[in-house]
Amino acid sequence: MPQPKAKRTKAGHSQDPPAAEAAAPHDGPRGELLLNLRGTALTEGDLWDALAAGCKLPRWFGRNLDAWHDTLVTGGISQYLDAHEPLVVRADAAGVFAPGNGRGRKLASVFLESGGRGRLELYSPGGGARMALQE
């Protein structure tokens, strides 16, 4: 999977970068960080790779649910991520996020527990319809 590339957008303007590319935060000290990972059925490894690159996580990041919870909910792991919130991850409801995938459900729960610091937006593959996340 290609490494996410940073792109800037102006505050208030919507831009969907190509799949697997990350849009850098909107202008402003606390702008949104957008990782658009749509267009592929992500494996869990693909997701960790994209999060590590897009959020500028340190090399020692654990690539597991506890490490991601500490990073997103507690903070203090990535200065870049902490400076730009919320983190918005857009992905297709396929692969790790396919309906019924327990691991994807656990990953999604970390976003739901983040207190607004992160948001996972899942879309119907190919159709583009956004799906609601529930605990």
Domains and CATH numbers, the chain: 21-131 (3.30.370.10)
pLDDT for position 85: 86
Which pTM value belongs to this model?
0.75
pLDDT > 60? residue 66: yes
Residue type, 22: A
Q: Give me the residue label for tokens 């606390």.
A: 30
More reliable by pLDDT, 4 or 9: 4
- Mapping DSSP onto H, E and C, the string for 18-43 reads CCCEEECCCCCCCCCEEEECCCCCCC
| Stretch 22-37: mean pLDDT | 62
- Determine the straight-line distance between the first and last CA of the chain, rounded to whole angstroms: 29
Among the ranges 19-23, 29-33, 69-73, 130-134, which has the highest mean pLDDT value? 69-73
Closest to 115 in 3D by CA, of 64, 61, 75: 75
**11 has pLDDT over 50:** no
pLDDT classification of 30: cutoffs 50, 70, 90: low
Residue 2, CB half-sphere, CA atoms under 13 Å: how many?
14
Cα distances (Å, whole numbers) of residue 76 to 58, 67, 110:
11, 11, 16
Residue 127 is predicted with a pLDDT of: 73
Residue 132: pLDDT band (50, 70, 90) is: low
